[in-house]
């Protein structure tokens, strides 16, 4: 599930951090096989512990603003775009695009960059993927910082697609209206939503784009409890997260609709106001397409994964911080409680008056504290006694 706001709004939430000079970075495209190439970017001190940033979605793409919740002097940060989105190529490709493929890509990236172990920072679907990687490669993990837990069980998918109408009846009705317009039929349950949206989303025509925008707009509406009012005159065309949560992508579409490419911009605003320029419209459309197309693909064909909770014992010895908005309507907080129950050593922070959006003030505060806790923990000597283990605060 993703999570992605206007640059001025995000600057307010990070106390002006956005005004800092852009850090030096390395980047590249890594051939991961099956016709896919994965875009990655690394920044920060090369001698610091590595934090792998795992974006939401599926289909959200990386958001460099996540670096603002970490102490940039204490972490080497590695970002990457998952298959089919962001700057990874080809755009929107669904073949050989599943959870195990993405886990394999992450491990190939670790080897290619010469990293022995890394910590993982994931949000929404990024938590699903980070945990899936962790239980597959526990010996390659240092710890976890997880926000907006998505366990990807059937009941979690059904909540987002159907049951959330108990809280958002108006937004859900508008979502169903868009599906009916695109497919000619009105869904009667979550399974029918997936059955009726696959073909329209895959067409990349006007009807498919409108449905994609409706899908991403529905997510965006559910995501934010406390979205700050933007400064007067600020551009209202961009948003940075929904369940896909993290996509900050600028996208350039080509004359061949199925394979537009993405560079660095953001998702459409939760209000779904039409972007001000044709270029902004293309960017918003491409971001909506990648998120809706890939989310549909995963929900219909790849999820639920092998249950995560019974496998957490493989990583439960590692430090972990769990941050979750109490009023998260995309991924309800019972999911983080279920994870904490099987991870006794995890630091749990359920944030009041916050939802799914990464950059809500309470979530930002908790994530900054969590990043500091992990940095202190990893800097401590292996002989640190249990009663002197660093704690949040």
The answer to whether residues 66 and 120 touch, using CB atoms and an 8 Å cutoff, is: no
**Over the chain, what is the mean pLDDT?**
84
Q: Which CATH number fits the domain that encloses residue 110?
A: 3.40.50.1820
Q: Which of 37, 356, 47 minimizes the C-alpha distance to 225?
A: 356
Please tell me whether residues 285 and 324 are part of one structural domain.
no
DSSP 2: B
The answer to whether residues 360 and 373 touch, using CB atoms and an 8 Å cutoff, is: no
Number of H helices, E strands in the chain: 10, 10
Please tell me whether residues 321 and 362 are part of one structural domain.
yes
CB atoms within 10 A of CB 323: 29
CA–CA gap between residue 205 and residue 194 (Å, rounded): 18
- The pLDDT of residue 104: 98
Please tell me whether residues 272 and 198 are part of one structural domain.
yes
- The pLDDT of residue 254: 29
Which residue range(s) make up the domain with 38? 7-153+306-388
Please tell me whether residues 272 and 313 are part of one structural domain.
no
Residue 141 backbone phi and psi in degrees, to 5: -110, 140
What's the residue count for the chain? 393
Is this model's pTM higher than 0.75 or not?
yes
- Structural Rg of the chain based on CA atoms: 19
Asked if pLDDT for residue 393 goes beyond 80, the answer is no
Q: Tokens for 353?
A: 């008056």
Residue range 156-197, pLDDT digits in tens: 999 999 999 999 999 999 999 999 999 999 999 999 999 999
- Place 236 in a pLDDT band, splitting at 50, 70 and 90: very low
Please tell me whether residues 279 and 179 are part of one structural domain.
yes
- The pLDDT of residue 31: 98
- The pLDDT of residue 230: 62
In a domain, 393, yes or no: no
In a domain, 2, yes or no: no
Q: Who contacts 179 (Cβ-Cβ below 8 Å, separation ≥6)?
A: 185, 186, 187, 193, 196, 197, 211, 214
Residue range 6-23, pLDDT digits in tens: 333 233 333 444 455 666
Q: Tokens for 175?
A: 């979502």
- The pLDDT of residue 274: 52
Please provide the DSSP assignment of 232-297 as one string.
TT---S-B--SSB------EE--SSTT--EE-S--BPPTT-PPPSSHHHHHHHHHHHHHHHHHHHH
- The pLDDT of residue 165: 98
Q: Who contacts 29 (Cβ-Cβ below 8 Å, separation ≥6)?
A: 37, 38, 39, 40, 87, 88, 89
Residue range 52-70, pLDDT digits in tens: 999 999 999 999 999 999 9
Residue range 66-108, pLDDT digits in tens: 999 999 999 999 999 999 999 999 999 999 999 999 999 999 9
Residue range 211-231, pLDDT digits in tens: 999 999 999 999 998 766 665
Q: Tokens for 375?
A: 């940095």
In a domain, 28, yes or no: yes
Number of structural domains in the chain: 2
Please tell me whether residues 376 and 318 are part of one structural domain.
yes
Residue 25 backbone phi and psi in degrees, to 5: -150, 165
CA dihedral 293, 296, 301, 307 (to 10 degrees): 120
Asked if pLDDT for residue 140 goes beyond 70, the answer is yes
The answer to whether residues 219 and 314 touch, using CB atoms and an 8 Å cutoff, is: no
Last residue of a domain, one of 302, 334, 358: 302
């Amino acid at each position: 599930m993703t999570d992605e706001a206007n640059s001025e709004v995000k600057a307010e939430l990070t106390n002006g951090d956005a005004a800092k000079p852009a850090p030096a970075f390395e980047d590249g495209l890594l051939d991961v096989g099956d016709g896919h190439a994965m875009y990655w970017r690394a920044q920060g001190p090369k001698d610091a512990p590595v934090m792998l940033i795992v974006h939401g979605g599926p289909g959200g793409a990386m958001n460099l603003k996540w670096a603002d919740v970490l102490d940039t002097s204490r972490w080497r940060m590695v970002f990457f775009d998952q298959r089919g989105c962001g700057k990874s190529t080809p755009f929107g490709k669904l073949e050989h695009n599943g959870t195990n493929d993405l886990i394999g890509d992450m491990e190939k990236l670790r080897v290619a960059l010469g990293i022995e172990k890394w910590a993982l920072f994931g949000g929404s679907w990024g938590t699903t993927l980070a945990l899936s990687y962790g239980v597959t490669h526990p010996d390659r993990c240092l710890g976890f910082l997880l926000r907006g837990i998505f366990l990807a069980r059937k009941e979690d998918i059904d909540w987002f697609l159907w049951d959330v109408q108990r809280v958002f009846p108006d937004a859900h009705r508008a979502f169903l209206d868009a599906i009916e317009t695109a497919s000619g039929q009105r869904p009667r349950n979550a399974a029918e939503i997936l059955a009726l949206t696959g073909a329209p989303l895959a067409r990349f025509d006007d009807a498919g784009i409108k449905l994609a925008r409706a899908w991403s707009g529905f997510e965006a509406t559910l995501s934010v409890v406390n979205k700050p009012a933007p400064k007067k005159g600020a551009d209202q065309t961009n948003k940075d997260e929904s369940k896909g949560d993290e996509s900050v992508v600028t996208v350039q579409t080509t004359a061949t609709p199925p394979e537009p490419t993405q560079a660095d911009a953001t998702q459409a605003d939760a209000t779904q106001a039409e972007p001000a320029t044709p270029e902004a419209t293309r960017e918003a459309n491409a971001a909506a397409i990648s998120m809706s197309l890939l989310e549909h693909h995963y929900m219909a064909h790849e999820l639920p994964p092998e249950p995560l909770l019974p496998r957490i014992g493989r990583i439960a010895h590692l430090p972990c911080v769990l941050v979750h908005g109490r009023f998260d309507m995309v991924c309800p907080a019972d999911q983080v409680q279920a994870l904490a129950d099987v991870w006794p050593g995890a630091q749990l922070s359920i944030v009041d008056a916050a939802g799914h959006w990464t950059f809500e003030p309470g979530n930002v505060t908790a994530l900054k504290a969590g990043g500091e806790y992990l940095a202190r923990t990893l800097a401590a000597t292996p002989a640190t006694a249990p009663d002197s283990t660093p704690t949040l605060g």
